Copies of this chain bind each other. A is one copy, B any other.
Amino acid sequence: MTDWSVWHSEKAGRVQPSVISEMMYLVKERRALSFTAGEPSVDLFPLDGLKEAFNKAFSDPSVLSYHPDNAGLKELREWIVQWMAEDKLLPPWVSAGNVILTNGSQEGVNLIAEALINPGDVIMTESPSYPEAMGTFRKEGARFAPVLVDKDGPDLNAMEGVLQRERVKCFYTIVNFQNPTGCTTSDDRKARVLELAKSHGFFIIEDDPYRNLRLEGEPTDSYIRMAGSDDRVIYLGSFSKILAPGLRCGWLVAPSSLASKLVELRVSIEISLSALVQRAVYEFLKCTDLKSHLESLRSVYRKRRDALVSALREHAVPLGVRFDVPKGGFFLWGEIPGVENIYELAKFAILEEGVGFIPGKPFYPDGAGPEGSMRLSYAKVSPEEAKEGAVRLSRAIQKFREIEAALSQSGLAQLRK
């Protein structure tokens, strides 16, 4: 067949295959034990409730038409405003008119990127950060200004350094239980970042899919509320982590003048979302005690996190593996010292030992992280599987190190490079 790649747009050339998708696909194909997925466990989906909600949604056949409101079902947008207000996340200017339903948060990131980024514009991101979001900004031609994170969020000195060098248009941040490091930005840091946003004139894109999966400690404030009437924060929320990602239902909150442009972009990208899905999500939320659903999720994830932490301490730490213990979300961020190619180790672990994780490299916007970093998700892993998975992972690390050592002695490693 013809190779049409010379016909591709510059944009197409900037898009790369997703390493996360690749690993998840490989894990599924090999039926491996999986620490790969940043998604909730199948056994925790509120299956019966959602099924009933879809049946209810069908009682209005017009949900199968094009939905006349391209921002999404108004009742669900109003529910979201109410829910966020109860959680003290919103400034007074937000109403349902500022909320746009999305095909998951990723669509929110894309709408924002298409609306704000010209090729060459600078996006400041945490380093490491979520590769698929960075990929979307990269698609639109953004350059990245990475700011290292520690356990309290972005390093402010590093941020000030960036702002002296670069004219930054947006700061993209995952505020709670960050993907991949698990860190949460403290409210003190948020206040300081907001001051910088004002003085240097940049937008903040506050991505917050894990907020309701806090396993210990007190909830934090939000950038969007703390900014008050200074409406330079766009908030991204999602039902993917607390209901089910296969619904494809998230939302964003944006200032009015931007929101209408995002809706125009939505129409040109895909007209509208499924009104059926939006109606079903709304019917589900109306009839569900969401707070107790969230409490039961948290109690399961707490056990899973703790089980994985102790299994790794038993089996992987003796091999030199280091990791942070997150206070919520899905991810452990770790490092395997002395690994020369983490991507090859990740494939080796799936193919040879039947255990999958995500190599850390793609999480660094400039590719300049430590070689041995990795992301482990406990979201879909029972305590028993965590133990078995830690054993397999440790075996994979040992074997891979032996192979790397043997190759290096034989001089083949040089050839391979």
Contact = CB atoms under 8 A, between A and B. Distances in A.
A65 B43 CA distance: 11
A70 B104 CA distance: 14
Contacts of A269: 106-107, 110, 136, 269
Interface string A1-19: 1111101111110011110
A228 to B, nearest CB: 12
Contact of A7 (B18, B116, B264): B116
B16 A264 contact: yes
A62 interface: yes
A271 B17 CA distance: 12
Max chain B C-beta neighbours (<10 A), residue from A8, A51, A272, A274: A274
A353 B239 CA distance: 43
Contacts of A255: 1-2, 4
A106 B271 contact: yes
Nearest to A3: B257
A153 to B, nearest CB: 24
Nearest to A240: B66
A61 B39 contact: no
Given A7-B116, A18-B264, A42-B61, 18 more contacts: A2-B232, A2-B257, A4-B255, A5-B257, A7-B169, A8-B115, A8-B116, A12-B261, A16-B264, A18-B70, A21-B68, A21-B267, A24-B66, A24-B68, A42-B62, A51-B58, A132-B271, A274-B277
A244 interface: yes
B18 A257 contact: no
Given A8-B116, A232-B2, A70 B246 contact: no
A139 interface: yes
A63 interface: yes
A189 interface: no
A204 to B, nearest CB: 13
Given A9-B115, A61-B47, A65-B244, A1 B93 contact: yes
A1 B98 CA distance: 12
Given A1-B255, A37-B66, A68-B28, A12 B274 contact: no
Interface in A21-77: 21, 24-25, 28, 37, 39, 42-43, 45, 47, 50-51, 54-55, 58, 61-70
B276 A247 contact: yes
B264 A9 contact: no
B246 A67 contact: yes
A273 interface: yes
B51 A64 contact: no
A206 interface: no
A270 B63 CA distance: 22
Interface of A: 1-5, 7-12, 15-18, 21, 24-25, 28, 37, 39, 42-43, 45, 47, 50-51, 54-55, 58, 61-70, 93, 102-104, 106-107, 110, 114-118, 121, 132, 135-136, 139-140, 169, 203, 230-232, 244-248, 255-258, 261, 264-265, 267-277
A270 B17 contact: no
Max chain B C-beta neighbours (<10 A), residue from A4, A267, A268, A275: A268
A246 B63 contact: yes
A248 B267 contact: no
Contacts of A7: 116, 169, 203, 258
